[in-house]
């Protein structure tokens, strides 16, 4: 299992994060919807980092950079849309650099964020979605104890094509 650490994005690391996003832009956009073009600039990334810090301070969402033991930025994992009242839940998302694929980083990053979510953040349930056919993402979720609870048809538009999505959940131990 790879040794990884999760760190929140900071303004000090904005240039590195911009390089990561720019280097992997085509790879990510072939799998998930594109970020706005303005994001791919120093000001765009700094604004996104500031928003992530505000959301964490307000308990609305948490973003983490995924780093190897040597400190290399290889991915991102986030808990979005935190709902406390009545639910204590969030939506899980993650992305791993193209060059880092197939090394177990996604599975380990999700394992680490689950520990944070169900530990210090006190969440009781996480949900995640995967496009039908995204076998890598589905395997990451299943390896981390998520179970499929539904399917939505033609619910995700990517590259002008509608795709079905599978819905997964994981409850706190």
- The total of other beta-carbon atoms located within 10 Å of residue 114's CB is 21
Q: Report residue 68 as tokens.
A: 């190897």
> How high is the mean pLDDT of the chain?
96
Mean pLDDT of 56-76: 97
Taking residue 74's Cβ as centre, other Cβ atoms within 10 Å add up to 22
Give the pair of three-digit tokens for residue 69. Answer: 């033991």
The number of CA neighbours under 13 Å toward the Cβ of 134 is 22
- Whole-number Å distance between alpha carbons of 121 and 138: 24
Residue from 36, 39, 45, 37 nearest 16 by CA = 45
Q: Where are the beta strands (DSSP E) in 13-96?
A: 62-68, 73-83, 89-96
Of 111 and 158, the structure prediction assigns the larger pLDDT to 111
At 90-143, the pLDDT tens digits run: 999 999 999 999 999 999 999 999 999 999 999 999 999 999 999 999 999 999
């Amino acid at each position: 299992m790879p040794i990884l650490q999760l760190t929140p994005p900071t303004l000090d690391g904005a240039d590195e994060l911009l390089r990561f996003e720019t280097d992997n832009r085509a790879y990510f956009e072939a799998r998930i919807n594109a970020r706005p073009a303005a994001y791919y600039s120093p000001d765009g990334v700094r604004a996104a980092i500031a928003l992530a810090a505000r959301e964490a301070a307000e308990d609305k969402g948490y973003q983490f950079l995924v780093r190897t033991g040597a400190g290399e930025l290889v991915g991102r994992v986030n808990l979005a849309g935190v709902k406390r009242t009545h639910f204590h839940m969030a939506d899980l998302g993650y992305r791993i650099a193209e060059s880092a694929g197939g090394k177990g980083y996604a599975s380990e990053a999700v394992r680490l964020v689950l520990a944070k979510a169900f530990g210090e953040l006190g969440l009781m349930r996480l949900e995640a979605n995967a496009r039908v056919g995204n076998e890598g993402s589905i395997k990451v979720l299943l390896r981390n104890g998520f179970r499929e609870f539904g399917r939505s048809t033609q619910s995700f538009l990517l590259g002008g094509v509608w795709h079905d999505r599978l819905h997964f959940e994981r409850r706190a131990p």
